[in-house]
């Protein structure tokens, strides 16, 4: 009797242990994303939830930081011996990350389907010296957004096709008393300002570096900064633009306080959301303008990729997660805040429905994406240029002198 009770108790204990034990030994990976622009935090969490449902043996710990903290957080984590397995990285960082061995070279993991299916321009986001350090995820450039109602009230039939026309139209709107400062930009002393500056450099046919030396202080680089200063001093640009990041621009535009705004893809559907926006249904979007005789449109490469850190102890699980997040099925499902990297996605009605105007602008803008300089010393160069933009806007230095100083301080 005692033996049978003991056996029963032992059986019950083993059964309880079996029931309480996890069905799979879970591998945990840590992923670092940004908490602004492109995909929303809610979207990233929803995508990740779909991934973990399909891969119950992998759990993903998500961390979100503002864009301004993304680079330093990634680099500092490496120095402390790890922390992240998957990191979001900007198009401007592969040179530095490859040189300093922050990311794994995943060239041998790229399948023929990926090579042929992803838009050629998207690959430049993750490449350095012929190697690939991740998969492109956010395909983005800046567009010119405009308020259709304000242009109509001003008697303006079509949005501007050149930057000179933008100034002319803004002046008409200002002179008619419709808005005191019709244009909003992201000119805070941050990378946002460099994206706006690069858009203009591309319009004016300028260059950043030639034969390893800075050349932005002359030609199109100087023309671009002169345009920014002229727009600021003319009173056509919102004076707070010198402190604005992209989210500030979005809020101002959504409140109906700007007729024109330069911003990323994500603003289109957010500004058209009647729950949060006063201008829903009045949002127009076109490629950023060109310069007569030099360009028809302008665009900056603002794309971002997902990569595996060199300190990751779970590179295979990290790669599985990255391929899911960048897959065509996932990207097509979440195409309202960031457009897919896959060429055939643009023929999918599910992607284009309700954002036909944005897709039309994207076809021209994405084809014209201009890169910020590819150099391991990009951070130094960007910091020097940010200072040049600020000093020029504030009238502390003439653009020519400010850019000359930036060239000297660029580390090149």
Which CATH number covers residue 100? Answer: 3.40.190.10
Whole-number mean pLDDT of the chain?
Answer: 92
Element (H, E) at 220: helix 219-233
**pLDDT for the residue 374:** 85
pLDDT for residue 5 is more than 60: no
DSSP code of residue 90: E
**pLDDT for the residue 412:** 86
* 2 inside domain: no
Q: Between the CA atoms of 77, 81, 84 and 87, what dihedral angle is there, to the nearest 10 degrees?
A: 60
Residue 10 pLDDT grade (very low, low, confident, very high; cuts 50, 70, 90): very low
**pLDDT for the residue 38:** 83
* 4 inside domain: no
Report the C-alpha gap between 362 and 365 in whole angstroms. Answer: 5
Same domain, 182 and 281: yes
Same domain, 41 and 57: yes
**pLDDT for the residue 13:** 46
Same domain, 57 and 81: yes
* 331 inside domain: yes
CB within 8 Å of 60: residues ≥ 6 apart: 28, 29, 30, 31, 48, 51, 52, 321
Residue 230 pLDDT grade (very low, low, confident, very high; cuts 50, 70, 90): very high
Same domain, 293 and 204: yes
For the entire predicted model, the pTM comes to 0.85
For 244-297, what is each residue's pLDDT tens digit?
A: 999 999 999 999 999 999 999 999 999 999 999 999 999 999 999 999 999 999
Q: What token pair was written down for 332? A: 């097509």
Report the C-alpha gap between 363 and 276 in whole angstroms. Answer: 28
Q: Which residues pair with residue 127 across a beta bridge?
A: 132
Same domain, 149 and 106: no
**Average confidence (pLDDT) over 204-228:** 97
Q: How many CB atoms lie within 10 A of CB 31?
A: 21
* 39 inside domain: yes
* 33 inside domain: yes
Residue 25 pLDDT grade (very low, low, confident, very high; cuts 50, 70, 90): low
* 212 inside domain: yes
Same domain, 45 and 59: yes
Same domain, 58 and 136: yes
**pLDDT for the residue 82:** 62
* 148 inside domain: yes
Tell me which of 15 and 168 has the higher pLDDT.
Answer: 168
Report the C-alpha gap between 196 and 241 in whole angstroms. Answer: 11
For 371-402, what is each residue's pLDDT tens digit?
A: 998 899 999 999 999 999 999 999 999 999 99
**pLDDT for the residue 36:** 73
* Helix extents (H) in 108-179: 112-117, 120-123, 148-153, 163-175
Q: How many CB atoms lie within 10 A of CB 41?
A: 13
Domain range for 331 is 27-140+302-367
Same domain, 246 and 361: no
Same domain, 161 and 233: yes
Same domain, 243 and 256: yes
Same domain, 236 and 285: yes
**pLDDT for the residue 201:** 98
For 308-354, what is each residue's pLDDT tens digit?
A: 999 999 999 999 999 999 999 999 999 988 899 999 998 889 899 98
How many domains does the chain fold into? 2
CB within 8 Å of 337: residues ≥ 6 apart: 38, 39, 40, 43, 265, 266, 269, 270
Distance from first CA to last CA of the chain, Å, rounded? 87
* 5 inside domain: no
Q: Which of 22-36, 57-71, 132-146, 380-394 has the lowest mean pLDDT?
A: 22-36
Same domain, 226 and 97: no
Of the candidates 94, 93, 74, 69, the residue with the CA atom closest to the CA atom of residue 84:
74
pLDDT for residue 111 is more than 80: yes
Percent of the residues in the chain that have a pLDDT greater than 90, as a whole number: 84
């Amino acid at each position: 009797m005692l033996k049978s009770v003991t056996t029963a108790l032992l059986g019950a204990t083993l059964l309880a242990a079996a029931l309480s034990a996890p069905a799979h030994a879970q591998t945990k990976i840590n992923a670092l994303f940004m908490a602004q622009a492109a995909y929303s935090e809610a979207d990233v969490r929803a995508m990740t939830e779909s991934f973990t449902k399909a891969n119950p043996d992998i759990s993903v710990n998500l961390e979100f930081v503002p864009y301004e903290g993304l680079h330093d957080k990634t680099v500092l984590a490496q120095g402390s011996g790890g922390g992240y397995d998957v990191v979001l990285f900007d198009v401007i960082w592969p040179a530095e990350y490859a040189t300093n061995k922050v990311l794994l070279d995943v060239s041998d993991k790229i399948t023929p389907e990926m090579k042929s299916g992803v838009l050629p321009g998207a690959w430049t986001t993750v490449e350095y010296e012929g190697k690939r350090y991740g998969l492109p995820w956010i395909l983005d450039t800046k567009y010119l957004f405009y308020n259709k109602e304000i242009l109509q009230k001003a008697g303006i039939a079509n949005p501007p096709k050149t930057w000179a026309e933008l100034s002319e139209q803004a002046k008409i709107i200002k002179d008619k008393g419709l808005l005191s400062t019709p244009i909003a930009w992201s000119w805070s002393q941050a990378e946002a300002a460099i994206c706006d500056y690069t858009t203009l450099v591309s319009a004016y046919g300028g260059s950043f570096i030639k034969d390893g030396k800075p050349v932005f202080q002359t030609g199109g680089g100087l023309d671009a900064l002169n345009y920014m200063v002229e727009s600021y001093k003319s009173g056509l640009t919102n004076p707070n633009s010198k402190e604005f990041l992209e989210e500030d621009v979005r809020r101002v535009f959504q409140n109906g306080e700007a007729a024109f705004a330069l911003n990323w893809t994500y603003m289109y559907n957010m500004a058209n959301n009647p729950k949060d926006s006063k201008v829903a249904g009045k949002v127009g979007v076109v490629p950023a303008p060109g310069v007569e005789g030099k360009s028809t449109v302008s665009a900056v490469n603002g794309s971002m990729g997902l990569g595996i850190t060199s300190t990751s102890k779970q590179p295979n699980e990290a790669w599985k997660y990255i391929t899911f997040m960048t897959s065509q099925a996932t990207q097509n499902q979440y195409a309202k805040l960031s457009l897919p990297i896959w060429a055939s996605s643009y023929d999918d009605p599910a992607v284009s429905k309700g954002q036909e105007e944005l897709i039309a602008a994207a076809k021209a803008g994405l084809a014209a994406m201009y890169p910020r300089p590819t150099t391991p010393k990009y951070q130094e160069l960007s910091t020097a240029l940010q200072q040049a933009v600020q000093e020029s806007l504030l009238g502390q230095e003439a653009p020519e002198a400010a850019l000359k100083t930036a060239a000297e301080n660029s580390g090149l």
